[in-house]
Structure 1
Amino acid sequence: DASLSIRELAHANDVNGMVLTHSLQLAVSVDKDTPVREFGISASQLRDALVHLKEEGAASWSFLKYWMWPPLMLFALWWLWRGGIPAGGDGKKRKGWFPKRTYLASQLAVVVLFGFALGKAPNPMEGLVKVFKGTVGIYSDTPEKLLLLGYFSLLAIVGNKLICGWGCPFGALEELLYEFPALKKLKRKQLPFRMTMSIRTLLFVVFVLVVFGWVGGIEGMVIYHYVNPFNLFGFELALWTVALSVVAFLALSLVIYRPFCQLICPFGWYSWWLEKISLFGIRIHRGRCNDCGACAQVCPLEAAAGRLAGQALPADCFSCARCLRACPEDALAYGPRWRKP
């Protein structure tokens, strides 16, 4: 009933008033005792918002993701460090090392289990965005949101961007499309890192300005919600910008490596900074490397080329193992950063 106030509606439907205010795209500071129809909210808009909130709050199995991600990250870490190397394997004959089918099988499992089976939330992007929403009063449990971000941060730090490269369902879907056998003849396009990082940074700045109400005047508005591809896993594609974005990102994935991760994702931007302090990652044995460039040729980003050139801040590395498989001189290894290769 649009004649009721936000406070009355929140109480009657057992939802958080601030979250309901945000779902109705109203400023957080609006009078909670004013009938919502006076804000121009129709009965259908109100119904859709309440249905969405009840679906989000419904009991689900999505909490299982928190227990499933750590074992997956440990498996990825083991496989990249030790498991992908055959016993007694010759480091200069790496054919068969780090088999691609293992990585792609894990990506398929992530899409099915962490995506469609367990739903869109939680996910790494949400982990970052909800902290900002909490700071403007959308959520009352901001400390819990900080813990969620800390959880995802740890999964990114333990191994070079592991949560993005191995545990993100939409990133995994992009990976599978990029590697789809029937489309391998398509010409792949490597985007300049300066461009992708600049776009992500600009979007993140706009996001901060908007979410705090400094631009637009409505606190709690999240620009990423309008292009959120994780909605695919909840089959929430009613918003045309979301539906169009999902189609666009999936189509681009056929020729560009992980376009959403490179160009849009705020957690992708955030985890790039965390790469610099990751505990495990790709290391180069300079005494063996002959600068042949084999690693840079197979890397879908500029990460390998930047690493080869000794850049302090190379492009994103998703720990996909392509370079480990390609090196002909046994000069690359995945392992603890505190040890010499």
Structure 2
Amino acid sequence: MAMNEAAYGALRASAALWAGSSVLITNQRGQVLLQRVTYRPTHLLPGGAVDKGESPAQGAARELEEELGVTATVTRGLALDWVSPAGRTTPPAMKFPGELLHVFDGGVWDEEQIAAIRPAPGEIEAVEFVEPADLPALMSPGDARRALSALRARISGAGPAFLEDGLPIAPTVLDRVGVLRTARARHHFPFHSVPVPKDLAVRQSWAWTFAPDGRVLVLLDPDSGAACLPGGTPEPADHADPETTLIREAREEAAAELADTRYLGYLSDADEPCARVRYAAALTSLGPASVDPATGRTYVRILATPEQALQFFDWGPPAAEQLQAVHQARVLLGIPQAGRQPVTELADSTSW
């Protein structure tokens, strides 16, 4: 039965939802900006309700200025979350009808941008950058799920994520494995693009292994979501040859065959004198995923750009020097630089 305009308008008004915007900002270490506010016991991303007649992007920019004293334009969406009436604990008097909450990408802020923050007095008690794995302990459950989903969407590059109560309706491999839900190991070790000194023992041999499109192989632990590059620790059968260690470990962990291995350098650890060697290599094939005999796990294998891969780790400022060496080796291998593209899971055998 057709409705007149007044009746149709009243029907739509009766189904009205709240609308909100928030902004995901990280520092150069991949930590997330959170606000400690005066009116809630939990931390929040910058953001708030969208005002009447205001677009979600305009609302996000306004909230950044009001809460942080920062003038910015937000143009890239990371997630749109349907927050159901049951998905948020609110006083009954509010009659919360549900909310569409937009999460925008505020980008990666450098030290100068961070120093320019001026928290709103009386509302924002403090601003801090926290590890992604710490979000569930600091935020409400729904807010933490939303922030992690938005962060994974940013890293994945697959486009904005559509969420229901913070969880993707079409999870990516990063969501399924739960990347960043456990603490990233903090390895701010200096990188040295020279041979390992003879008096320094090699404890680890890892590699940036390139597919022909310029992306690299990353292994995800199915139990913890932690990421690692192919490689591992030397064994007696390797005869103290880090390259032999790398090739063996790549086969055992990822069923990966490598070619054109090139030494990049090593990381030094002042607390435990040793060398953590880094190589670059070309991937030639992947066999069926199998159990790693060292860990008893079957790793989830993905391809990511080197820049995406770095976001899975907390390697600090030395990571920039290592990344530069990685791209120099990529050029010598005759492999193009990968453009921004979604992370891809490699579930089946592949040859290049």
TM-score range, shorter chain: under 0.3
Question: Which structure is higher in strand share?
Answer: 2
Question: Which structure is higher in helix share?
Answer: 1
The one of the two structures with greater contact order (alpha-carbon pairs below 8 A, sep at least 6) is: 1
The structure having more radius of gyration, on CA atoms, is 2
- In the superposition, the TM-score normalised over structure 1's length comes to 0.25
